Amino acid sequence: MTTKGITQLSGLRDKFKKRQWALALALVFLFALTFLIPRYGLLNEYVQLIIIYIGINIIMAVSLNMVNGYMGDFSLGHAGFMLIGAYVSSILTVWVFPRNWNPILTSAILFPIAVTAGGLAAALASLIVAFPSFKTRGDYLALVTLAFNMICVSVVQNIEAIGAGRGFMGMKKLTTMPWVFIWALIAIWVIRSFVYSNFGRGTVSIREDETAAELVGVNTRHVKVLTFVISSFFAGIGGALFAHILQFITPNTFQLQKNVDFLVMVYLGGMGSIGGSILGAVTYTVILELLREALTILGTFPIFASIPSLEVWRWVLAPLLLILLMIYRNQGIMGLREFGFLVPFRDRFGARFWLKRRELTNANSSN
């Protein structure tokens, strides 16, 4: 019985360890791909561009999910943080940093600094939203975030120095597949660590019942600030990467429409699930692109050629998808479930493990 128990115990651990190793290897392999692909042009540049977009969208969706999914608040300001990240990082790379460094150093040292700065700026700005969130919740907070987004946009529109509404450019194409991969990985890692810590549990308890959370000793204010700051930090990162792939940003790019895209990703994938957000981001981006293709092909047929703006039908999809989701499956693909490999050992097997161990010790003491 005892030995059996021990083997079971160690078995549990080993199985988990093995999985983690497999995951690590998979990541290394993927990472190798991310710079083999551009190096040897295994995929054409447009597909590469889409992959990079997907990476950025993953960062945005996962970080938005922290607020909308885990904390159960409704943020409509994520694009605002993205904008801040985009502009701050771009200003750094274009004006502040030396422009004629050798490209390797620029990409290896200056770019990450710029991106991080963008993230930090966004994180700082998020306090404007975090503090109101102490008092207001639900629809009203949604409005606060939205107002924040709109204000970000119109502020940029009024700063002549950075091109106002006409946009800002001159960034080098520094966002590369490996960088996006790394940042996405960092985002997922950090957010996962946060969610599966006592702060994360605090966040979720706010979603479940804020008053009760406060009344079992969770410092909801602290948790809220942390959640908003981390979430918008990665939104800023996403923005920075976005700016350095497009090499051109305008405030209007970061309007409500962009928020809606991220919302679709989050709710399509499923709230309160990192895996869900990743899934959502990938699915949504791919669907839209496939549709672009499909419509272009359709357009070649005489029947459809007559339709003035076939392209537009693509934009009908996103909202329609959301509505149907909300009505028929507002849990999204994953619901509140999570991919096993994203859940730390303690949170996945902790209880079972504890029980087994007690069993064993009892057994020992009995003989």
Q: Is 265 in the site for other proteins (CB under 8 A)?
A: no
Of residues 140-199, those binding other proteins (CB under 8 A): 140, 142-144, 147-148, 150-151, 153-155, 157-158, 164-167, 169-170, 172-179, 181-182, 185-186, 189-190, 193-194, 197-199
The Cα–Cα gap between 21 and 186 comes to: 18
CB of 350 to other proteins, least distance (A): 5
Q: At which residue do the structure tokens 């999204």 appear?
A: 332
Alpha helix positions (H), the chain: 2-40, 45-65, 78-91, 103-105, 111-130, 132-135, 138-158, 177-195, 198-215, 220-246, 256-269, 274-300, 302-305, 313-328, 345-366
Overall residue count recorded for the chain in this entry: 367
Strand partners, 248: 169
Which range touches other proteins (CB under 8 A), out of 59-67, 103-111, 117-125, 279-287?
103-111
User: What binding mask, one character per residue, do residues 47-66 give for other proteins by CB under 8 A, x or -?
Assistant: -xx-----------------
340 makes contact with other proteins (CB under 8 A): no
Residue 286 touching other proteins (CB under 8 A):
no
List C-alpha distances in Å: 295 to 50, 97, 200, 302, 320: 17, 43, 43, 13, 17
Q: Which of 57, 90, 106, 232 binds other proteins (CB under 8 A)?
A: 106
Tell me which residue of 93, 74, 168, 79 sits closest to 122, measured CA to CA: 79
For the segment 201-230, give every residue that binds other proteins (CB under 8 A): 201-202, 204-205, 207-209, 211-221, 226
- Which residue among 6, 287, 294, 313 contacts other proteins (CB under 8 A)? 313
**Which is closer to other proteins, CB of 233 or CB of 279?**
233
By CB under 8 A, tell whether 309 contacts other proteins. yes
Q: Please, which residue, 1 or 316, has the CB nearer to other proteins?
A: 316
